[in-house]
Structure 1
Amino acid sequence: MFPKLGLINVNPPIVSSSCPITLIGGVNPASGTLSEALSIAPLVVAADGGADHAFAAGQKLEAVIGDMDSISETAKGAFKDVLHPIAEQNSTDFDKALRHIDAPLVLGVGFSGARLDHELGSMTVLVRHPERRCVLIGEETIVLLCPPQITLKLPMESAVSLFPMAEVGCESEGLRWPTGGLRFAPDRQIGTLNKVEGEVSLRPDAPKMLLILPRGALGVTVQALLQDGERWPARVG
């Protein structure tokens, strides 16, 4: 069993949905990326300046969440009825948005492809809110916090990368280089550049492992996440 992390998330949701939600960030997503996310999760939320990309794409928004320092006046006017400003400056707009969305899955677009520091910041948010299932979609890869257990049927020889955000173990099957018995940490053992040799099963022992897969694995990953109800509990604080 995975460790108990504490109480449930105390942030009251701004958006609640029984269906997956697309969350648009401040980097203009490629039209194909946004279209693919919308085909899975047609309800849309924007994180601050992501509202401008939603406006340009003609998208209706359930909410705009953030400190509102990046959104244009045009987008503010267009979405004035669904603006939810959060003034604190101790977290990113992605963090503010994710922690206030209650949904079985969030697909994040517009959070990669620009500044590396912003991408790294987004990855820390995935770990900070392990109870929120979220897949960040890039042009070539997807990244998510590996859940307590996930089984994926991926093409043989597909790339599978595991990157630890803190010390963590991860039992596995179906990988060319097995990970059982290893202790991963950012400054020691990492698990990038592995390959698929069968049905892949991953079981990390803590919510500290990022799973990075080819963009083409999005559909299989979403299906696996929605079929398996087991998720990490929220952190305390």
Structure 2
Amino acid sequence: MSGALIRSGSAVTLVGGGPVEPEEIAAALALAPVLVAADGGAGAALEAGHMPLAVIGDFDSLDAGAMAAIPPERLHRVAEQDSTDFHKCLARIEAPLILAVGFAGGRMDHLLAVFNVMARLPKRRALVLGPEDACLLAPPRLALDLDPGTAVSLFPMGPVTAQSRGLKWPVDGLAFSPDGQSGTSNRAEGHVLIEAHAPKLLLMLPRTALPRLLDGLEDAPGW
């Protein structure tokens, strides 16, 4: 993993170059006040009235106007083409939480690449917000107080097992894999406990459950 460019004791909002509304950026900043942009996401941040602390990427989608508006010392160009801009950012941000917007509403291949990076960099706690859902790599142990009936989906990025309490359909004993068993559209019965046995399991919840998820993450161990 590359050395960190941004080290923050508070959560970081990471703005990507996909579809994102100013209201989404403002809502993320209310929870994660440090703003970093991934390449062309800098344009969306500026249009929303926010100056990024840093812009990281290969700059193939950062337009000249946005580049000229940002102080040069905040522009961190990573020229190599072997990783995505999301990967370049995650590898270079150290923070308790990275709240990512502008990554989940556009091209499907871009979203799959985001999920790939989350599994490859498990020590970076990234929470990706989409139009309807929030997604993160499940930590080793996560306790959540969810409303009964809340949708809870688990999708493996590699072979992995897990244990659960408080789900309508327990996952104990299931062998998850990308081309085999998954755990989409499960339901919470109230208090939920999920223990992932490897950093390979994506957890997806409705956006409405975000406050409960953030509360649970405060006590969740990292990988």
**TM-score normalised to structure 1 length:** 0.91
Aligned letter for 2:27?
E
- Alignment partner of 1:98 is 2:90: yes
1:78 paired residue number: 69
Pairing 1:55–2:46 present: yes
The reply on whether 1:108 has 2:100 as its aligned counterpart is yes
Q: Following TM superposition, by how much is the alpha carbon of 1:46 offset from its aligned partner in structure 2, in angstroms?
A: 0.2
From 18, 36, 41, the counterpart of 2:32: 41
CA displacement at 1:82 relative to structure 2: 0.2
Shift of 1:42: 1.3
What CA distance in whole angstroms lies between the structure 2 residues aligned with 1:59 and 1:220? 27
Which amino acid is the alignment partner of residue 167 of structure 2?
Answer: L
Q: Distance in 2 between matches of 1:34 and 1:12?
A: 26
Amino acid at match of 1:231: G
Q: 1:174 aligns with which of 166, 181, 184?
A: 166
Mapped partners of 1:186, 1:28: distance in 2: 27
The TM-score with structure 2 as length reference comes to 0.97
> In the alignment, which residue of structure 2 is the partner of 1:5?
none
Aligned partners of 2:13 and 2:99 also within 8 Å: yes
Q: Deviations over 1:128-185 (max 9, x none)?
A: 1000001000110011000011001111101000000111001000000000111111
Gaps of 5+ in 1: 1-9, 233-237
Tell me what 2:121 maps to.
129
Partner residue, 2:4: 13
Higher relative CO (Cα under 8 Å, sequence separation at least 6) belongs to: 1
Distance in 1 separating the partners of 2:184 and 2:93: 30
Among all aligned residue pairs of Structure 1 and Structure 2, give the percentage whose two residues are the same amino acid: 46
1:30 Cα offset (Å): 2.2
Amino acid at match of 2:18: V
